Structure 1
Amino acid sequence: MRRAPIAALLLAVLVTGLVTGCSGGGGQERAAGGPVEITIWHGQEDTSAKSIEKLVARFNQSHPDIKVNTESGGATADGMLPKLTAALASDAYPDIAYLYGSWTPNIARNPKTADLTEFTKDPAIKWQDFWANERESVTVNGKVIAFPAVVDNMVVLYNKKLLAKAGVEAPGPDWTWDDFRVKAKQVTSAKDGVFGATWPISGGEEAVWGLWPMLWQAGGDILTPDHKKAAFNSAAGQQALGRLRDMAVVDKSVYLDSSPAEKGQKLFESGRLGMFLSGPWVLPDLQAAKIDYGVAQLPGTDGNHETISGPDNWMVFEHDEGRVKAAATFLAWLTAAEQQLEWMSDTGSLPIRESITKLPGYKDYVAKYPGIEVISANLANAKRVRPPTTRYPRVSAFVAEAIAQALLGRSDAKTALDQAAGKADAALAVPGS
């Protein structure tokens, strides 16, 4: 998973206020007659950093009453949560912060988080144009506390040459998880060092989020509706993890990726992996590696091809009313269809608004990233988000451990999930969760 990565996972941009005499903090007074200043901490690198800086420069030219300053924030995307948490505690905190969607409930509890609900009611923002799962991701306890920043979803990337060499048909629109297992086994060649599929066992969210669609498709869920108990150890969860365990332990068709550096992707790029569960963020890398790849929606269960999406969010924090308004103005501009299409073309990310797909330049974007159209259409299969509870990261860690134990052959699926559920129930029972 990128940012994962979805994601991963790809994109992280933080917008923060300035501290007088100190970069990246809160409290700078607006000079008489001068613009309201906000600052972007962006954990971006390379193309993504250049793209956001280009867009910010254009915004500054067209909005003389607001000045947005760009900074890295002193951390990569994955390191932004502890960076932001420390900043909030010390009062050197952002005006706007780009955060992974799974982090939002934790940060939303901070009283410095701004309520953007009234801003999103402005017809000019076209709030309903954002995908439903994005709007759900940025709404906590009935309040909108962020703008959608990035949306992705999980698909299966496959190496056309490896499948053809093994006499395996490319995935079709109606393929199932049983088909996935069969194809993976047929492609695997110990002699050639080729695996049919890969699965992370490094203990992070990247190990877990591929299991959730299998669970959802079979009628299961992660937690009970009240978020007080684990539900992932149901028959649906046992079936999902059991299938993966059989592929890893019995078929030996799964490369177990124990490195957070994502060796599985490198294996795919080197032509030694038949199928790879990932998302749009890897397409530029695959093009650079000159891999002849195809893209398919996830295998289905009884015709249900539900996938998982990892919406990332631009969160806003209060310094004063003027800065909150300036931040909302900037985000309304940045997330507008025209700017987003440019960002997508630069980075390979997906449309966060439905209307973007109707812009004249969308066809050029699709042509630039082969397979992106399939991933974009797959947003329709992203129907749910991970539970919006502050305890989700701990629940995820317990399930990641269960996955590793099962795929390494150290436990059966039921035992591993039941043990994880016991730990999750204890964590969920803690007050304030």
Structure 2
Amino acid sequence: MRRGATRPAVLAALTALSLAVAGCGGGDEQPANGPVEITLWHGQPGVAAKSLEKLVAEYNKGNHGVKVRAESGGVTPDGMLPKITAALTSDAYPDIAYLYGSWAPNVARNPKTADLTEFVKSPAVGWQDFWASEREAVTIDGKVIGFPAVVDNMVVLYNKKMFAKAGVKEPTPDWTWEDFRTAAKKTTDVKKGAFGTTWPITGGEEAVWGLWPLVWQNGGDILSPDHKKAVFNSAAGQKALGLLRDMAVVDKSIYLDSTPAEKSQKLFESDRIGMFLSGPWVLPDLQAAKLDYGVVRLPGTAGNHETVSGPDNWVVFKHDERRVKAAADFLTWLTSAERQLVWMTDTGSLPIRESIGKLPGYKDYLAKYPGIEVISENLANAKRVRPPTTKYPRVSSFVAEAVAQALLGRSDVKTALDEAVRKSEAALAVPGS
């Protein structure tokens, strides 16, 4: 999955960034006359980098009064936070950087992070056109720190060959978790090494984020509204993890993956996993593998098909007010529906604005990426994001441990979740960490 476990280097960067309190730096000197010059670190590889640089070149040819210099920053998106953390200790930081949404609470604490709250109220921005989960991910304690960059969500991909062989009807959009469990049982043949579905037990975020939709659908939540209490051991949380435990321990229909998620994906591609919970980033791989697959939204609870989303952000940093305004003006242009359709068609990313689906070229985009239409429409079911707090990585690690203990049959659900809550609340009680 794209949203993997938080690496040790990143955890160290989170701590360092939260402690950085240096004042705003002047950065590069700006010419007295001529366009305002700003720098963007994007961290994108391959096709994504080429597409972005093409769009930046188009912008620079226009009469915007702004000159954008796009650079990788010398890292991939995974390495951007440590890079930014180091840069913010001096004046050698960019005006804009691509950062995962889960890092926003830590970045927002730095005084060099810009506040765009008033700027995004402009009708030219079209703030309400962005999906709610994206707006939430880039807003920390009421402060908007940038613009949405990329959005995804979790769906179920299913192996049509395995479904047909087991005599299982393909999922319909209104299916339930009981339907999911039944399909998993029927497509499981342990002797042949085939399982109905898979779940990571790696101890990282990839083991956790698929649990949250089940919790939300059942009326539960992760933390209290003030982020001071862990509440995922509620009846909703126990029901959510209980379903997975029953599938793993009783039905034995879940392949428990203790390796990176890529192994499960390879098993899915080789007709040994019937259903794979993932997102749009795997579609090019499935096409390359020539797999006959289908895509359907997550099973629902009482008609609620809520999913989980992992938005990423273009975060703006302060040098001076002219450069902040220039960065915001550029991002307004870059995130417009027309420019985003170019980016999406080049890269297979999902629409970050609802209005993109109304553009003439949208049908060509859908045709290029089979299954992407279902995932795009599923953005409407991404109503919440994981808690925007610096403590979430630690909470996630405790929940991941609980998931592993329950699915391996080493603990009952209540005991596992209660222990995770105890550890989480100890972490939440530590000020400033």
Q: If the length of structure 1 is used for normalisation, what is the TM-score?
A: 0.91
Distance 1:86 1:243, change over 3 A: same
2:79 equivalent to 1:79 = yes
**Matching residue of 2:12:** none
Describe the SS at the equivalent of 1:89. coil
**CA–CA separation in structure 2 for the residues paired with 1:26 and 1:284:** 43
Q: What is aligned with 1:319?
A: 319
* 1:160–1:170 CA contact under 8 A, matched in 2: yes
The one-letter code of the counterpart of 1:260 is P
Instruction: Check if 1:406 corresponds to 2:406.
Output: yes
1:170-208 CA distance string (max 9 Å, x none): 111221112111211211123432221111122222211
What whole-Å deviation, never above 9, does each CA across 1:367-413 have from its counterpart, x for those lacking one? Answer: 11111111111112111121122211111111112112222222222
Name the SS of the counterpart of 2:152 in structure 1: coil
Moved over 4 A (4+): none
CA deviations over 1:299-330 (Å, ceiling 9, x no partner): 11122111111111111010111221121111
Aligned to 1:36: 36
Alpha-carbon distance between aligned partners in 1 of 2:3 and 2:72, rounded to the nearest angstrom: 16
- Measure the CA separation in 1 of the matches of 2:339 and 2:388: 29
Name the amino acid aligned to 1:362: Y
Which piece of structure 1 moves more, 72-81 or 165-174? 72-81
Q: Distance in 2 between matches of 1:412 and 1:339?
A: 50
Deviation at 1:261, TM superposition (A): 5.3
Distance 1:372 1:101, change over 3 A: same
Match of residue 299 from structure 1: 299
The one-letter amino acid paired with 1:82 is P
Aligned residue runs from structure 1 range 1-400, under 5 A: 1-4=1-4, 27-63=27-63, 65-260=65-260, 262-400=262-400
Report the count of equivalent residues: 414
Alpha-carbon distance change, 388 to 96 in structure 1, aligned in 2, over 3 angstroms: same
Q: Matches of 2:71 and 2:31 in 1, distance apart?
A: 21
- Determine the C-alpha separation between the residues in 2 that align with 1:271 and 1:432: 48
Specify every segment of 5 or more residues in structure 1 that has no aligned partner in the other structure, as ranges.
6-24
Q: Equivalents in 2 of 1:3, 1:387: separation in Å?
A: 15
Tell me, in whole angstroms, the C-alpha distance in 2 between the residues paired with 1:77 and 1:236: 34
- 2:425 aligned partner, one-letter code: D
Contact 2:3 2:205 in 1 (8 A): no
Kindly provide the CA deviation profile for residues 253-291 of structure 1, in whole angstroms up to 9, marking residues without a partner as x. Answer: 212222235211222222321101111111111111111
User: Does the CA-based 8 Å contact 1:26-1:93 persist in structure 2?
Assistant: no
Distance in structure 2 (CA, Å) of the matches to 1:161 and 1:168: 10
1:326-380 deviations in Å (ceiling 9; x for gaps) = 2111111110000100111111111111110100001111111111111111112
What are the superposed Cα offsets for residues 107-160 of structure 1, whole Å, 9 maximum, x if unpaired?
101111101122212211111111122222222222211111111111101011
- Residues 153 and 382 of structure 1 are in contact (CA less than 8 Å); yes or no, is this contact kept in structure 2? yes
| In structure 2, distance between residues paired with 1:262 and 1:408 | 20
Q: 1:210 to 1:52 in 2, by over 3 A?
A: same
RMSD (CA atoms): 1.8
Does the aligned pair in 1 maintain the 2:121–2:127 contact within 8 Å? yes
> Hey, what's the Cα distance between the residues in 2 that align with 1:68 and 1:402?
47
For residues 45 and 259 of structure 1, the distance between their equivalents in structure 2, rounded to whole angstroms, comes to 24
In 2, Cα distance between equivalents of 1:220 and 1:261: 26
Distance in 2 of aligned mates of 1:241 and 1:3: 20
Q: Helix, strand or coil for the counterpart of 1:123?
A: coil
Gaps of 5+ in 2: 6-24
Looking at structure 2, the residues matched to 316 and 290 of structure 1 have their Cα atoms a distance apart, in angstroms, of 41
| Partner in structure 1 of residue 430 of structure 2 | 430
Q: Report the CA distance shift for 1:57/1:416 in structure 2 as closer, same or farther (over 3 A).
A: same
CA distance in 1, matches of 2:147, 2:274: 37
Q: Distance in 2 between matches of 1:225 and 1:27?
A: 38
Partner of residue 419, structure 1: 419
Task: Tell me the SS of whatever aligns to 2:89.
Answer: helix
C-alpha separation between the residues in 2 aligned to 1:356 and 1:362?
Answer: 7
Identity of aligned residues (%): 78
Give the Cα–Cα distance (whole angstroms) in 2 for the partners of residues 347 and 290 of structure 1.
Answer: 19
Q: Secondary structure at the match of 1:125?
A: coil
Indicate the SS of the match to 2:118. helix
Letter in 1 for 2:217: Q
Tell me how far apart the structure 1 counterparts of residues 261 and 379 of structure 2 sit (CA, whole Å): 27
Distance (whole Å) between structure 2 residues aligned to residue 271 and residue 347 of structure 1: 27
Q: Which amino acid is 1:59 matched to?
A: Y
Q: Compute the TM-score of the two structures, normalised by the length of structure 2.
A: 0.91
Native 8 Å contact 2:3 2:310 kept in 1? no
